[in-house]
Structure 1
């Protein structure tokens, strides 16, 4: 799936999380789940209603053969929530949440991943070298960052001219597809400098 230029979204498939855009993915995913069944979202937000019974004044989990219709419905909602999340995640993130037992734990683990990566990230070191290209975050408005190529890919290319070209290529293409020629021309003018 091409995550850079998307013409439309599916109402039958959950938004795909490619591992790089959790903050942008979270709200469309929440809305998708709510549109499927709002109760499924509540299971993710609040956790499942596990079927329990009282034995000697103590709550214990029911066995599957003791489930009534309401218990079955609650377990079905949990299964739907987990399935939707499984279908939306890339293989790496599936591995990260594989030990989670509930959809709520899965969602919280994804949140923890973002919180941890934000806490561990350090601001880029800037140099005063006149030939160096400023980081993408300094060149591109925040709303257009998802259109920029992966910075790690740019670092792997050895040719500085190629790096500059690739950094501008995707946004130019996006603006051209949308007919926003002044924005595309502006990027070309930056590239020529």
Structure 2
């Protein structure tokens, strides 16, 4: 089976996530975001929250004009990561992530959608390992037939 890559190979345009390329997309997107700026990639790993300050003994969200340069930079990195990820998915996938406002939430939602929970990933790995261990070529089977059979699971 031949891989079909609809987009890619560009430093100015992220790879498009499809129904079947999540693992490839995830790795390429990580490096694409990192190439834009390490802070942008980090936004997918660390939950951004609006800066707060203590006002009259109560914690409150700061107005944007009170943000420090570092707080503004972190917010911008989150916004760039969100925008980049949104541009790298089809409309059907956008529905999954459209209501999230942080890059980490988007990243985690896509990971959960395509990889499942840790226990689901562990079960899938066990199934694949079991299948691989039992994989044998029959005496009357051609190499082409064996390759077709084995590629169904990969």
TM, length-normalised to structure 1? 0.57
Are 2:99 and 1:115 equivalent residues in the alignment? no
**2:115 and 2:5 mapped to 1: Cα distance?**
27
2:42 matched residue in structure 1: 42
Larger RCO, structures 1/2 (Cα 8 Å, 6+ apart): 2
**1:115 and 1:12 mapped to 2: Cα distance?**
27
CA contact (8 A) 1:50 1:61 kept: yes
The 5 Å alignment of 1:37-186 reads 37-116=37-116, 119=120, 138-140=149-151, 145=154
The 5 Å alignment of 1:13-32 reads 13-32=13-32
Cα displacement (A) at 1:7: 9.4
Cα displacement (A) at 1:99: 1.5
Cα displacement (A) at 1:90: 0.9
* Number of residue pairs matched by the alignment: 130
CA contact (8 A) 1:50 1:74 kept: no
Q: What are the ranges of 5 or more consecutive residues in structure 2 without an aligned counterpart?
A: 128-144
CA contact (8 A) 2:33 2:41 kept: yes
Cα displacement (A) at 1:56: 3.4
SS at match of 2:60: strand
**2:8 and 2:99 mapped to 1: Cα distance?**
33
Greater C-alpha radius of gyration:
1
CA contact (8 A) 2:39 2:74 kept: no
**1:138 and 1:10 mapped to 2: Cα distance?**
34
**1:66 and 1:95 mapped to 2: Cα distance?**
34
CA contact (8 A) 1:43 1:78 kept: yes
Cα displacement (A) at 1:39: 0.7
Aligned in 2, Cα 1:79/1:140: closer, same or farther, shift over 3 Å?
same
SS at match of 1:20: coil
CA contact (8 A) 2:41 2:81 kept: yes
